[in-house]
Amino acid sequence: MKPFLSSAALVSLLTLGITACRPSQSSPASAAPPAPQVTVAPVENRDLVEYDTFTARLDAPEVVEIRPRVSGYLTEVRFRPGELVKAGDVLFIIDPRPRQAVFDRADAEVKRAEVRVDIASREASRAEALFETGAVSIEEADQRRWAVTDAQAVLQAAIASRETAKLDLEFCTVRAPIDGRVSRALVTVGNNVSGVDGFTTLLTTLVSVNPIYAYTDVDEASLLKFRQLLRQGEISTDGQGRVLVEMGLPDETGYPHQGFIESIDNRLDPGTGSILVRSEYSNTDGKLLPGLFARIRIPSSAKKPTLLIHETAIGTDQNQKFVYTLTSSNTVAYRPVSLGGSVGTKRVVRSGLQPGEKVIVNGLLRVMPGAPVSPIEEGSTPPASPTTAQR
């Protein structure tokens, strides 16, 4: 006979099972997660000048194409490609022998003309004396005087021809017209070069090295703001009244090169809405090469108190820039901000913050507005994490 449970026993077992599955009323509640740890830094207030940054192209003040002024065969090249030369240094030699022969002939013609002037002058003097005694007629005396004038004119023409021949002989030596850096020789020894106007042979190029110019296009709004500040005397200048600017190459940190605005073009380009500005920089070490791109910054404000925050504190919400600030209760507050230019690793704050407020610079992805955080001052050592006890 199979055993069976009574109805009362069955109800008791079911009640016991439900009670066992129900959580104990005396168990502690689950612990809340700790507040995320973030790094905060105060909003800095510093007196500084704001700048507008532009891209520029470097160029030499002087660029010379070296071309011969006489024709002939090239006999010497007296420079190495890319070296620095001084004004007057010899770069090329064109065979001078044909020009030397022409000069010698012209010099001989001058000497012959000088002898003729001497002879004509003596004959004119004798004719004057004979005319006083009536030995010669006035017509003959006049002819002797005219012969002197003719001989002097021939002498002047001969001297001019000799000077032309002398110049041609000097032009056989091609010299550097300016100080600068020379390119490679575009014509080698043994080639015939032309010095005929309109058909001259390009021998090489030469560019000046120091100083160097930077050309940049400045937009209309920046130009108007700059001119207004300049009229109001709010932009600092040097002792000569020149506006100081700074420049840096792409491989350089910051703006290590100091210069000044040399000139501003006389009209705005209607196609681009910009104007060409030329600034000048010292280049004694020759590091700045024509053709290089550079970054220049032009003052856009007077020196004034300016708020700065770290770049890492800035977030983007569609078209709006924002930061997370720390409240007095160590919670997060969302704060829209208007930003200006960069100053090293920091950004200028136009509006939205006050000096001394603290912004989160590290841990932005771990926080939400209104949520509590565990702040750590920038530069301080974070507290050690608690160790887990070993069993």
Give the pLDDT score at 121.
Answer: 87
Q: Which domains does the chain have, with CATH numbers?
A: 37-48+304-377 (2.40.420.20), 51-61+210-299 (2.40.30.170), 64-95+174-207 (2.40.50.100), 96-171 (1.10.287)
pLDDT above 90 (res 59): yes
Q: By CB neighbour count within 10 A (0-12 exposed, 13-18 middle, 19+ buried), where does 203 fall?
A: buried
Helix (H) or strand (E) holding 103: helix 97-133
More confident: 3 or 252: 252
What is the spatial distance between Cα 285 and Cα 260, in angstroms, rounded to a whole number? 18
* Backbone dihedral angles phi then psi of residue 103, each to the nearest 5 degrees: -65, -45
Mean pLDDT computed over 51-73: 94
pLDDT above 50 (res 2): no
Look at 21-25, 33-37, 312-316 and tell me which has the smallest mean pLDDT: 21-25
pLDDT above 90 (res 52): no
What is the spatial distance between Cα 286 and Cα 58, in angstroms, rounded to a whole number? 12
What is the spatial distance between Cα 206 and Cα 184, in angstroms, rounded to a whole number? 10
- pLDDT of 232-246, one tens digit each? 888 878 888 889 999
CB 61 within 8 A of CB 36: no
CB 51 within 8 A of CB 290: no
C-alpha pair distances (Å), 198 with each of 57, 191, 195: 31, 19, 9
Nearest alpha-carbon partner for 83 in 205, 177, 182? 182
More confident: 44 or 301: 44
Mean pLDDT computed over 17-21: 48
Name residue 145's beta-bridge partners.
Answer: none
Mean pLDDT computed over 68-83: 95
Q: Please tell me whether the peptide bond between 61 and the residue prior to it is cis, using omega within 30 degrees of 0.
A: no
What is the spatial distance between Cα 88 and Cα 182, in angstroms, rounded to a whole number? 13
What is the spatial distance between Cα 64 and Cα 148, in angstroms, rounded to a whole number? 48
Which amino acid type is present at position 139? E
Whole-model pTM: value is: 0.67
* Backbone dihedral angles phi then psi of residue 187, each to the nearest 5 degrees: -130, 135
CB 215 within 8 A of CB 278: yes
Give the pLDDT score at 22.
Answer: 53
Nearest alpha-carbon partner for 301 in 229, 232, 386, 349? 229
- CA distance from start to end of the chain: 54
- pLDDT of 99-139, one tens digit each? 999 999 999 999 999 999 998 888 887 777 776 776 767 77
Strands 332-343 and 257-264: unpaired
CB 303 within 8 A of CB 236: yes
